[in-house]
Amino acid sequence: MNNKPLIIANWKCNPTTSKEAEHLFVAIKKEIRNIKDAEVVICPPFVYLDLIKDDFTKGGQNCYCENRGAYTGEISPLMLKNLACQYVIIGHSERRKYFQETDEIINRKVKTALKTRLRPVLCVGERVGDEMGLVVREQIEKDLAGIAAARVREVIVAYEPVWAIGTGLPCSSDEAMRAALFIRKTLTKLYDRPIAEKVKILYGGSVTSQNAVDYIKGAMMNGLLVGQASLNATEFVKIVLKINEL
């Protein structure tokens, strides 16, 4: 496993013009093109993927569970691979909530992505009032069902407590560490400890330049999935540079 911290920028449904998207990307690239001790992945809306050339690794924000067919409006893992994507975000809480994606659908997406040699970034996390352990265990067990140990090490698990996403109420580093340890424990039961240790675990949810280091050093996370802050070039660059200096 590459030991460099992995920092993924999820632009979500932003910005609204290609000019703005290109300006954002250029502003980020200018400041962090020479980093060596962190890996940065940009996940823009599908229509902007071609704007991101070879300067950075890129990924999709979602994919369908089939590579081709009569599925109007869908984007397949094979299409993402053709656009030089290496990663794809799957199972984000916004997909689960607004588009009613079930764990069964997410499981199919993970399998198809792996077959296409994309690395799935599997998002898990509880809502307000839910017990983290019960929700995260069920999501991981169902989302990784039928995936062999030889392939699961290619999956990245992103812990994103739903109550922290876009709310400005980030999870504490202690809470994040408990979640990371619980995820590794769950993966150990499903596979074994050596396999579990090879799976990268990221934190996402109101990440800022003020708390980013805490999640890597304090919570023992392997990286970050950054949403809102990734749309502010100055803030995102600060996050990357701080992690790069660890």
- Residues designated as active site: 92, 160
Q: Measured between alpha carbons, how far is 90 from 54 in angstroms, rounded to an integer?
A: 23
**How far is residue 108 from each of residues 79, 100, 223, measured CA to CA in Å?**
17, 15, 25
Q: Is there a contact between 121 and 112 (Cβ–Cβ < 8 Å)?
A: no
> DSSP for 63-92?
--SSSSSS-TT---HHHHHHTT--EEEES-
Q: End-to-end alpha-carbon separation of the chain, Å? A: 18
39: region left, alpha or beta (phi > 0 left; psi from -120 to 50 alpha): beta
